[in-house]
Structure 1
């Protein structure tokens, strides 16, 4: 082989090696770019943050039932957010819009797919959360104004009343709000119109502390919880007894106990003073069945059940807030603060072996 051929061959070999290496280099760059793109657009679902969604059906703020919400998001009502430290599950509900069941209030809320019976129960729900917004408007004289329910026990049977609702409420202009819980009587007889709630303060005030005028607010609670401040609750029902525990950094831990199978409100003389002031004047003066919630299937709920609505306070001074709803326009409500928003960091549920399907409740209310 002559020198010219050797030189040409060598040049071709070097060129081939260069092209191969360059091709590999470009391929590597392409892979990295695609991987980085995947990482940027990857969705973190609620079920990635709190992996317990097999136990729930999700109701959205437009009244729809999503069902089991694994790998699901809806940017209007249910999605995830990161506060720079942790991922959170966001539940959001406007003041006005389509509602679920017979309620006047919107909710983005999980409802347990099974129900259990208080007398034989051994069931538990825990959550760590922070409330990020409550309605900017509402009649301050109405006890439910500027409030959201963040956890419940609900009956699936008969009157479908609620032995537990956990509230957060903060008046406009206040730095701190109140956390309190309610027990609703399981009204005796077939007429449920006389039902009423009894409210117990955890941190701050109870439900009964309201404004003197529509836009006049009571004194700010000194031991309250601010928007964005974490707190936790534990709900355990065992052998007919409901045990509640509330914890938050820099706040006193509070515990409560309530019998769900034996009523303390069976006669008119048993109606508490708080109820006499709040509910009796509007005709809600019923008494409870002796056996309370015995024999009724109950289930947990968790999320943002907005207690502020647009109905006139003249209809019901405890529940009709007269707040701004922009005719149900969600975008406008979100723009000027007329919504409830709750973020959950952790949650757990323990379901006893005696729990049974709650499908009948959903078929009645969807």
Structure 2
């Protein structure tokens, strides 16, 4: 007689099997997450909390936030929605973010989360330098395409602390909606002769892609996409150096040729009406901004660097100024609604360095006057 072997089966219900399956997976997923966090800890990513832990130069600056407040020296400081850190699994970054509308700083129409140098220097005796590596993550997706400032953000500046407080340098990134690549360009603002600064204008020079003057023919039509532009999320670097009255600029990226420029800050080329560039005649003169520059340009004025996210898109009507008033969506100043629909600018900085010459002096008077 053959022996019979009895095999008994456990009768699991379908819900029971699913429960057992997920319980089995949980430890595996947990191990995977712990392993990922462990790798981040090895690289030091998880220890980064403050922007000053990423770029150790914040003792040289005052920080203005996108809600209009002055945060002062931003050592061991962060602010949700405006100034904080991110990691892209390769590097730590400092995030500067500003909506299209909110409380603004000084007399500007535009919001900013931006650093302003604590010291000022005079171009004639300067030996000062600022460099940075960054990527623009968002520019406003709303605005009027006829307005030159729409869809743009300023990521670096030289600003005058005296006189009209004009700007010999603004470095822009601009990308039209629907385009993959945007443009990088820099603007020089004349230091207007006389007491009336309302006739000031900018002259724009392209780095990669278009300059400031490239606009749409109607509020929602756009020019062709630039072939040599920079995409959102693509790194590029700039270096600004002012030595013995000359501003030197260098721009680098992996996808485009390195570009260099220079501009004399002590002698103007725009001190006569006849020297007004054609770009200015087309863009600024029609709206009454047709001034001339003082012969010695910025020679007698203290200047300082700025770095961050100075959103150039705003909700002001283009009827006020067809170059600077974007008519963009602002949701009545509701910041979270603006962030939700792309009506903001966001810039990430990976590195930054500043060299301040011994000739630089305190910029406290500028901050007192403008705060």
TM-score (norm 1): 0.89
Matching of residue 303 in structure 1 with residue 316 in structure 2: no
- In structure 2, what is the equivalent of residue 324 of structure 1? 329
CA positional deviation for 1:75: 1.0
- In structure 2, what is the equivalent of residue 215 of structure 1? 220
Q: Distance in 2 between matches of 1:143 and 1:190?
A: 26
- In structure 1, what is the equivalent of residue 348 of structure 2? 343
Q: Distance in 1 between matches of 2:333 and 2:362?
A: 34
**Alignment of structure 1 residues 1-366 onto 2, 5 Å:** 44-366=49-371
Distance 1:41 1:124, change over 3 A: closer
CA positional deviation for 1:56: 0.3
Q: Distance in 1 between matches of 2:290 and 2:266?
A: 21
CA positional deviation for 1:43: 5.2
Q: Distance in 2 between matches of 1:295 and 1:207?
A: 28
1:196-223 CA-partner distances (Å, limit 9, x unpaired)? 0000000000001100100000000000
Secondary structure of 1:100's counterpart equals coil
TM-score (norm 2): 0.88
Q: Distance in 1 between matches of 2:70 and 2:299?
A: 28
1:253-285 CA-partner distances (Å, limit 9, x unpaired)? 000000000000010000000000000000100
Secondary structure of 1:347's counterpart equals strand
Work out whether residues 48 and 54 of structure 2, in 8 Å CA contact, stay in contact via their aligned partners in 1: no
Work out whether residues 315 and 327 of structure 2, in 8 Å CA contact, stay in contact via their aligned partners in 1: yes
**RMSD (CA atoms):** 1.1
Secondary structure of 1:289's counterpart equals coil
The count of residues paired between Structure 1 and Structure 2 equals 329
Q: Distance in 1 between matches of 2:138 and 2:147?
A: 18
1:281-308 CA-partner distances (Å, limit 9, x unpaired)? 0010000000000110000000000000
Secondary structure of 2:359's counterpart equals coil
CA positional deviation for 1:44: 1.7
Q: Distance in 2 between matches of 1:102 and 1:360?
A: 16
Distance 1:41 1:178, change over 3 A: closer
1:22-74 CA-partner distances (Å, limit 9, x unpaired)? xxxxxxxxxxxxxx9xx898552110100001100000001111110000000
Work out whether residues 149 and 313 of structure 2, in 8 Å CA contact, stay in contact via their aligned partners in 1: yes
Gaps of 5+ in 1: 1-35
Distance 1:42 1:254, change over 3 A: closer
Q: Distance in 2 between matches of 1:250 and 1:172?
A: 21
Q: Distance in 2 between matches of 1:302 and 1:271?
A: 29
Answer with 1 or 2: which has the greater Rg: 1
CA positional deviation for 1:250: 2.1
> Moved runs in structure 1, 4+ residues, more than 3 A?
39-43
